[in-house]
Amino acid sequence: MRSIPISFVTAVLAVCVSFFPGGSAVAKTAPPDFVELAKKLKPSVVNISTAKVVNPQQRFRRPQQSPFWADPFQDFFERFFEGMPSQPRTQRSLGSGFIISNEGYILTNNHVVANADEIKVRLSDGREFKGQVKGSDEKLDLALIKIDARDHLPVATLGDSDAIEVGEWVLAIGNPFGLAETVTAGIVSAKGRVIGSGPYDDFIQTDASINPGNSGGPLVNARGEVVGINTAIVAGGQGIG
């Protein structure tokens, strides 16, 4: 259950209302409204921040040899730091996740928490907890972490990713650039995408806006069910949905 958002295309439906002497206004139409759905879903989405100690060589290593992980500044950094003394540094990163159990279990991407020395989870109500990785699968890019919240937690509803259709509305919820509870909307642009990331390539492509920090957050259908996990973006997608 994973998704590959490619880029974001905004469609604006403009409705003109004309008034005529002695006449009535033309009936208004509007695009879908996701207000209530967003209110329902946001509490189950969390912000995940990690820290790990790395040396400069590790710090600027590409996570995967794939256009979906491209960094235009990678070669510059590798040349700039080449030959410099190796000094440990703390690398911090941000990601998202969603609660799947009242006991505090949270699903996210493996690359969000892999090799982290410290994991902090911030809930929608502002509370922060230490997270522990309970299981992970590098090939599927999935990780299960747990927090000890000691109270009832809002839980996301899991749906059937096989049942979604191209053209169906979806929402992406997460923390791009650390901006908590960001909600974007789009459609399912394609199914079964293969990007060369591993043996289980079977991705959902969507035009919902995704940015760094969205990784691990849910892709949700119009019924409020999680049908994918936002995993990667295409660098320089140039408006491809």
Decide if 161 is inside a domain: yes
Calpha distance 217→97 (Å, rounded): 5
Q: pLDDT tens digit string along 184-230? A: 999 999 998 887 766 777 889 999 998 989 999 999 999 999 999 99
Please tell me the predicted confidence (pLDDT) of residue 96: 96
Please tell me the predicted confidence (pLDDT) of residue 83: 58
**141 catalytic, yes or no?**
yes
Decide if 143 is inside a domain: no
pTM of the shown model? 0.72
DSSP assignment string, 148-195:
---S----PEE--GGG--TT-EEEEEE-GGG-TTEEEEEEEEEEEE--
- Count of domains for the chain: 1
Decide if 96 is inside a domain: no
Q: pLDDT tens digit string along 17-62? A: 333 344 444 445 556 789 999 999 999 999 999 999 887 665 445 5
Q: pLDDT tens digit string along 75-123? A: 555 555 565 556 788 888 899 999 999 999 999 999 999 999 999 999 9
Find residue 190's DSSP bridge partners. Answer: 205
Decide if 205 is inside a domain: yes
**CATH classification of the domain holding 191:** 2.40.10.10
pLDDT at 2 over 80: no
**18 catalytic, yes or no?**
no
Decide if 197 is inside a domain: yes
Size of the chain in residues: 241
**Which stretch of DSSP H or E encloses residue 120?**
strand 118-122
29-38 contacts at long range (C-beta below 8 A, 24 or more positions apart): 32/169, 32/185, 32/222, 34/171, 34/183, 34/185, 34/222, 37/171, 37/220, 37/222, 37/224, 38/171, 38/173, 38/183
Query: Of the residues 7, 44, 141, 197, which is catalytic?
Result: 141
Please tell me the predicted confidence (pLDDT) of residue 218: 97
Query: Of the residues 111, 189, 197, 209, which is catalytic?
Result: 111
Calpha distance 182→218 (Å, rounded): 11
Query: Of the residues 3, 96, 161, 215, which is catalytic?
Result: 215
**152 catalytic, yes or no?**
no
Decide if 163 is inside a domain: yes
Decide if 117 is inside a domain: no
Q: Quote the domain boundaries for residue 182.
A: 3-11+35-43+155-229
DSSP assignment string, 192-241:
EE--SSSTT--EEEE-S---TT-TT-EEEETTSEEEEEB----TT-TT--
Decide if 191 is inside a domain: yes
